Amino acid sequence: MAMTLSDKPAILVVEDDEATAKLIRLVLEYEGFEVRHAADGLEAKVFITSQWAPALVTLDLELPHVKGEELMMQIKTTPGWERVPVIMITATRKTDAAWAVRKGAKGHLTKPFQPEDLLKAVRRLLPKKAS
C-alpha cells in the first residue's frame, strides 16, 4: 500500500466537480487518509506518470481533457500503478458496476452517492491493518 511521509494511506481523487471532490476529500481525510486531487484528466496524467503511486484512486468517468476510461487504461498499464485499486464514479445510471469492473475498476459509485457508500467501498479495498 502506498504510504506517504505521514504514514497515512494516500488516495488520489480524480474529480472535476468541485463540490463532489470536496465531499470526497472531507470524508476520506476524516477517516485518516491523505488525499491528493486532480481536477481533470491532464492533472491525473501528471500523477500517473510521476514516481508516486497512491493506495487507491477514485476516478470520475467524465472529465475534461482526458476521459476516465482512458485514464483507467493508463493506470492499469503503468508500472507501480497497475495494482492500485480504482473506484469508478459515474453520473449516469447506464454505466453500471459490471461495466466498470470490465474496464478494470474494483468498485463503482453512481452520483449522487452517500458518504457511507464511499467509505464502504474504500474499506473493502483498503482494510485497516491490525496494530
Q: Is residue 5 part of a domain?
A: no
Domain count of the fold of the chain = 1
Say whether pTM exceeds 0.85. yes
Looking at residue 129, its pLDDT comes to: 53
Question: How far is residue 100 from each of residues 9, 90, 130, measured CA to CA in Å?
Answer: 24, 9, 30
Q: What angle do CA 80, 83, 84 make, to 5 degrees?
A: 85
What is the domain-level CATH number for residue 73? 3.40.50.2300
**Residue 42 region, left (φ>0) first, then alpha (ψ -120 to 50), else beta?**
alpha
Q: Are 122 and 115 in contact (CB under 8 A)?
A: no
Q: Is residue 1 part of a domain?
A: no
DSSP at 114 = -
Q: Which of 14, 19, 8 is nearest to 87 (CA)?
A: 14
Q: Which domain holds residue 57?
A: 10-123
pLDDT digits (tens, 9 = 90+) for 18-69: 999 999 999 999 999 999 999 999 999 999 999 899 999 999 999 999 999 9
- Residue recorded with cell 476521459: 67
Q: Is residue 63 part of a domain?
A: yes
Report d(CA 33, CA 93) in Å as an integer.
28
